[in-house]
Amino acid sequence: MACIFCSILKGEIPSKKVYEDEFVYAFHDIDPKAPIHIIVIPKEHCANILEVATDSDMMNHIVKAIQVIAKQEGVDAKGFRVVNNCGPDGGQTVEHLHFHLLGARQLTWPPG
């Protein structure tokens, strides 16, 4: 089954990389909802947060990446938001686990 984010990982679809390590890749969202809008994904395909094996280190690597990216992008001091959309009601459109890192503006609450 075709997965857009797996195609990005293979380089078949171009992306603007902001971070990469052995387990994680991060790139600018194609349709940014804030001045900083970065998508953070595991290199290993996983459909959504319900499918994450809790005995794996995947989430640790994701959190590490978010910490590095927040500092790299200069949003660590003022703050930012990390979003995971899961399933239809959550608004998930790409079925490869991903975390949105949004910042560089005042974000409102609640989300839509």
| Residues at the site binding Zn ion, with contacts judged by CB under 5 A | 3, 5-6, 45, 96
Q: Which residues bind ligand 5GP (CB under 6 A)?
A: 4, 13, 15, 27-31, 39, 85, 91-94
3-state secondary structure of 75: coil
The H or E element spanning position 63 is: helix 58-72
End-to-end CA distance of the chain: 30
Q: If contact means CB under 5 to 8 A according to the sort of partner, which of Zn ion, ligand 5GP, none does residue 38 touch? A: none
Angle subtended at Cα 90 by Cα 103 and Cα 97, rounded to the nearest 5 degrees: 70
Of residues 55 and 89, the one with the C-beta less far from ligand 5GP: 89
Question: At its nearest, how many Å lie between ligand 5GP and the CB of residue 106?
Answer: 20
Closest approach, Cβ 62 to ligand 5GP, in A, equals 14
Residue pair 23/43 in contact by the 8 Å Cβ criterion: yes
- Phi-psi region at 55: left, alpha or beta (left = phi > 0; alpha = psi -120 to 50): alpha
The reply to whether 37 belongs to the active site is: no
Query: Which of 26, 34 has the CB closer to Zn ion?
Result: 26
Cβ-closest position to Zn ion = 3
- Marked catalytic residue, from 37, 61, 96, 98: 98
Q: Which residues are catalytic?
A: 98
